[in-house]
């Protein structure tokens, strides 16, 4: 054994052998410059040309500032209980016959009203009561009957729709009661940013619950108009970088896909149908290892052998 060279000794001898090949200078600073500066400039340049926009978050303040007419119209609908949210049903309210069903199955009602929302109280009256100087119109509203409130909000909604560009300042005279004063006060409150803070801290001291702000936004046309301008309504496909809170909209692409095809596209209970289908697909994916036939697909379609062809060639 002593006269035979081991692999380790051969490696040591090779490592100590003098280099007789070509020598070239190596500039570490040049490599660092190319690797950081040049590549960094390329990344920034390509990002500026092809990168997605880093838009600011939409707030009630930006809504009231950019589209005051839509804000006032939506606030009026919330007061009158005629907005989409006011008649949505569980988990927000108990509107009769508002739930989506599949035959006799009413999954929407099973959860109950877990996030109770009175649109007039939560979105308009309640926030206005937090102002240091409460509008006098609040007392008039509180002392009126439901029938009178409905008459006021209906008349003002009709007047807004007939005003030039739906401008609240150009509405003709009518029996609107305290509605114009209430909506104007709420508009001014939203423009200062105070309404964002009030709605997001309703159930918590911390500014973490944006449910009511988003629901209020969703009842107007401003938010959906922005989505349409950015081609984010679901009828176009592409890639968008989510710069805000994770997860972004990318994980919702499969949910959105079903809304673009029949029978989901025109179904009145599309939400329930899509959620039910996604539950079934998720269950099927979970049970793939236990479903005969489906679990054998990799054997019948040996794509893995093509990917790992070197390994299977050696075998």
- Encode pLDDT of 114-146 as tens digits: 889 999 999 999 999 999 999 999 999 999 999
Q: Give the pLDDT score at 217.
A: 94
Number of domains in the chain: 2
Residue 105: strand pairing partners: 102
Is 16 a member of any domain?
no
How far apart are alpha carbons 56 and 70 in whole angstroms? 20
Domain boundary residue, one of 184, 201, 233: 233
Which residue shows structure tokens 């390329």?
42
Domain containing residue 97: 60-233
Is 48 a member of any domain?
no
Same domain for 162 and 89: yes
Same domain for 145 and 113: yes
User: Using alpha carbons only, what angle is made at residue 91 by residues 227 and 182, rounded to the nearest 5 degrees?
Assistant: 65
Cβ atoms < 10 Å from Cβ of 50: 7
Q: Give the pLDDT score at 205.
A: 65
Is 145 a member of any domain?
yes
Q: Give the pLDDT score at 1.
A: 46
Q: Taking the alpha carbons of 297, 299, 302, 307 in that order, is the dihedral positive or negative?
A: positive
Same domain for 170 and 258: no
Q: Give the pLDDT score at 5.
A: 52
| Cα of 206 vs its chain's centroid, Å | 21
User: What's the pTM?
Assistant: 0.73
Domain boundary residue, one of 171, 202, 233: 233
Same domain for 113 and 260: no
Same domain for 256 and 210: no
User: Using alpha carbons only, what angle is made at residue 147 by residues 145 and 150, rounded to the nearest 5 degrees?
Assistant: 110
Give yes or no for a contact between 232 and 219, defined as CB atoms under 8 angstroms apart: no
Same domain for 226 and 92: yes
Is 260 a member of any domain?
yes
Burial class (CB within 10 angstroms; exposed 0-12, middle 13-18, buried 19+) of 131: middle
Is 143 a member of any domain?
yes
How far apart are alpha carbons 264 and 202 in whole angstroms? 36
Q: Give the pLDDT score at 247.
A: 52
Same domain for 214 and 141: yes
Give yes or no for a contact between 99 and 109, defined as CB atoms under 8 angstroms apart: yes
Listed residue (253, 259, 298, 254) closest to 280, CA to CA = 254
Q: Give the pLDDT score at 19.
A: 79
Same domain for 150 and 73: yes
Residue 102: strand pairing partners: 105
Burial class (CB within 10 angstroms; exposed 0-12, middle 13-18, buried 19+) of 118: middle
| 214: DSSP letter | H
Tell me the pLDDT of the chain (315 aa) as tens digits.
444 556 667 767 777 888 777 777 778 888 888 889 989 999 999 888 877 667 788 899 999 999 999 999 999 999 999 999 999 999 999 888 888 888 888 888 888 898 899 999 999 999 999 999 999 999 999 999 999 999 999 999 999 999 998 999 899 999 999 999 999 999 999 999 999 999 988 766 666 788 899 999 999 999 999 888 877 776 776 656 555 555 556 667 788 889 888 999 899 999 999 999 999 999 988 998 888 888 888 888 888 888 888 888 887
How far apart are alpha carbons 229 and 124 in whole angstroms? 29
How far apart are alpha carbons 240 and 57 in whole angstroms? 15
Is 30 a member of any domain?
no
Listed residue (73, 60, 66) closest to 168, CA to CA = 73
Is 25 a member of any domain?
no
Outline where 22-178 has alpha helix (H).
28-32, 39-50, 60-66, 68-80, 107-110, 119, 126-128, 137-143, 146-162
């Amino acid at each position: 054994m002593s006269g035979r060279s081991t692999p380790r000794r051969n490696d040591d001898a090779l490592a100590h052998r003098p280099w007789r090949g070509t020598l070239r200078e190596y500039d570490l600073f040049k490599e660092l410059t190319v690797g950081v500066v040049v590549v960094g400039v390329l990344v920034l340049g390509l990002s500026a040309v092809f990168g997605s926009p880093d838009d600011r978050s939409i707030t009630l303040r930006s809504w009231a500032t950019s589209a005051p007419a839509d804000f006032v119209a939506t606030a009026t609908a919330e007061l009158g209980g005629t907005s989409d949210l006011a008649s949505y049903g569980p988990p927000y309210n108990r509107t009769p016959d508002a739930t989506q069903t599949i035959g006799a199955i009413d999954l929407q009602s099973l959860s109950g009203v877990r996030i109770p929302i009175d649109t007039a109280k939560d979105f308009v009256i309640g926030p206005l009561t937090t102002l240091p100087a409460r509008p006098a119109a609040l007392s008039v509203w509180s002392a009126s009957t439901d029938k009178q409130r409905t008459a006021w909000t209906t008349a003002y909604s009709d007047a807004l729709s007939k005003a030039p560009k739906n401008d609240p300042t150009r509405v003709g005279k009518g029996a609107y009661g305290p509605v114009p004063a209430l909506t104007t006060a709420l508009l001014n409150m939203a423009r200062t940013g105070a309404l964002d803070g009030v709605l997001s801290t309703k159930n918590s001291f911390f500014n973490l619950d944006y449910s009511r702000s988003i629901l209020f936004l969703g009842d107007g046309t401003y938010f959906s108009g922005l989505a349409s301008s950015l081609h984010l309504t679901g009828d176009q496909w592409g890639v968008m970088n989510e710069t805000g809170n994770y997860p972004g909209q990318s994980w919702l692409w499969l949910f959105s896909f079903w809304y673009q095809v029949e029978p989901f596209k025109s179904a009145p209970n599309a939400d329930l149908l899509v959620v039910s289908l996604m539950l079934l697909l998720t269950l099927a994916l979970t049970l793939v290892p236990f479903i005969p036939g489906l679990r054998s697909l990799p054997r019948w379609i040996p794509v893995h052998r093509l990917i790992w062809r070197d390994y299977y060639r050696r075998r």
